[in-house]
C-alpha cells in the first residue's frame, strides 16, 4: 500500500513534467531546426554544382556514327548569348534573387561560393543550347532563330518562376524532338558506302546533303535526353535565395 506522502510526491512530479512540456518541445524544435538548415548548404554548394557540371559534360558529347567514339563539340558563340539571356530571365522571374545570392551581409567566401554555383549554371545552360542546336547548315539557323525569338519575347513577358520553368520545359522538349527525332531520321547513316546509301534511300541521302546534317550514332539522343532532364531537375532544386 502506498502512503499519502508518496502519492503527493507523484502528483508534484506529474505537475512539474506538465509545466516543462512546452519548454521541452521548444528545445526539441531548436535541436531539429539547425539540422534542417544544414541541409541547404549541402544542396546549394554540393548537389547543384555537380548536376550542372554533369550537364556541361553531357551537353557537348556526341557519339560517332561509324565506331560510337566519343566526340566533344565546343559550343557556338550564339550559345553563350542564349545562356546570358537565360540567366537574366532567371533573375527577372525571381527564380534567382540578386540580394539572395550576392549581399554585403554575406561573407566574402559565401559570395565567391555563390558566384561559383551560378557559373556552373551558366556553363550548363551554354552546353544545353549546344546540345539542342543543330551543328551546322540551314537547321542551325532555323532552330537558332526560334530560340532567339522565344528568349527575346520572354524578356518582356510577365513571368513568374513556375511559368518560366514550364516555358523552358516546353521549349527544350520541342527542340529535342526536332533535332534527335525528326532531323536525325533524315540523316543517312555512314555504315555503308555513299553509292550504296544513294541506291538504298536516295531521299534520306538528299536531305543529308541539302541540310548539311552531321551523322551521329543513335546513342547521342539518349545522352542528350538525360542532359535535358538533369538540367530541368537542377533548376527545380535551385533555391531563390541562399539566406538562412
If one counts every other C-beta atom within 10 angstroms of the C-beta of residue 24, the result is: 11
Q: Is the pLDDT of residue 199 over 50?
A: no
DSSP secondary structure of 64-118: BTTT--EEEPPPPHHHHHHHHHHHHHHHHTTSS-HHHHS-TTS-HHHHHHHHHHH
* 20: its cell numbers: 516543462
C-alpha cell at 153: 519575347
pLDDT for the residue numbered 40: 75
| Pairwise CA distance, residues 101 & 32, whole Å | 25
Q: Read off the pLDDT of residues 103-119 as tens digits, 9 standing for 90 and up.
A: 888 888 989 999 999 99
> In this predicted structure, which of 60-74, 162-176, 188-202, 212-226 has the lowest mean pLDDT?
188-202
Percent of the chain with pLDDT strictly greater than 90: 32
CA angle 161, 158, 225 (to 5 degrees): 45
Domain-wise residue ranges, the chain: 39-237
| pLDDT higher at 23 or 128 | 128
The closest of 227, 239, 237, 236 to 114, measured between CA atoms, is 239
The cell for 204 is 534520306
Instruction: Please write the tens of the pLDDT for every residue from 129-179.
Output: 999 998 887 888 888 999 999 888 888 877 777 888 888 888 999 999 988
Amino acid at each position: 500500500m502506498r502512503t499519502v506522502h508518496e502519492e503527493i510526491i507523484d502528483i508534484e512530479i506529474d505537475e512539474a513534467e506538465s509545466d516543462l512540456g512546452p519548454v521541452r518541445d521548444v528545445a526539441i524544435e531548436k535541436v531539429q531546426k539547425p539540422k534542417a538548415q544544414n541541409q541547404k548548404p549541402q544542396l546549394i554548394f554540393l548537389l547543384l554544382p555537380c548536376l550542372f557540371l554533369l550537364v556541361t559534360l553531357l551537353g557537348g558529347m556526341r557519339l560517332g556514327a561509324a565506331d560510337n567514339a566519343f566526340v566533344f563539340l565546343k559550343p557556338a558563340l550564339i550559345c553563350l548569348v542564349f545562356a546570358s539571356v537565360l540567366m537574366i530571365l532567371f533573375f527577372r522571374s525571381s527564380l534567382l534573387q540578386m540580394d539572395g545570392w550576392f549581399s554585403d551581409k554575406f561573407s566574402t567566401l559565401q559570395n565567391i561560393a555563390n558566384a561559383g554555383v551560378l557559373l556552373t549554371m551558366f556553363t550548363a545552360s551554354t552546353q544545353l543550347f549546344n546540345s539542342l542546336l543543330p551543328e551546322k547548315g540551314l537547321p542551325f539557323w532555323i532552330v537558332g532563330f526560334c530560340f532567339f525569338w522565344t528568349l527575346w519575347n520572354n524578356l518582356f513577358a510577365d513571368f513568374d518562376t513556375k511559368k518560366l520553368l514550364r516555358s523552358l520545359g516546353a521549349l527544350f522538349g520541342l527542340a529535342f524532338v526536332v533535332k534527335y527525332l525528326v532531323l536525325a531520321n533524315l540523316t543517312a547513316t555512314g555504315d555503308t558506302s555513299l553509292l550504296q546509301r544513294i541506291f538504298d534511300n536516295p531521299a534520306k541521302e538528299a536531305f543529308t546533303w541539302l541540310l548539311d546534317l552531321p551523322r551521329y550514332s543513335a546513342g547521342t539522343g539518349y545522352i542528350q535526353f538525360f542532359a535535358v532532364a538533369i538540367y530541368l531537375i537542377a533548376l527545380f532544386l535551385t533555391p531563390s535565395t541562399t539566406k538562412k
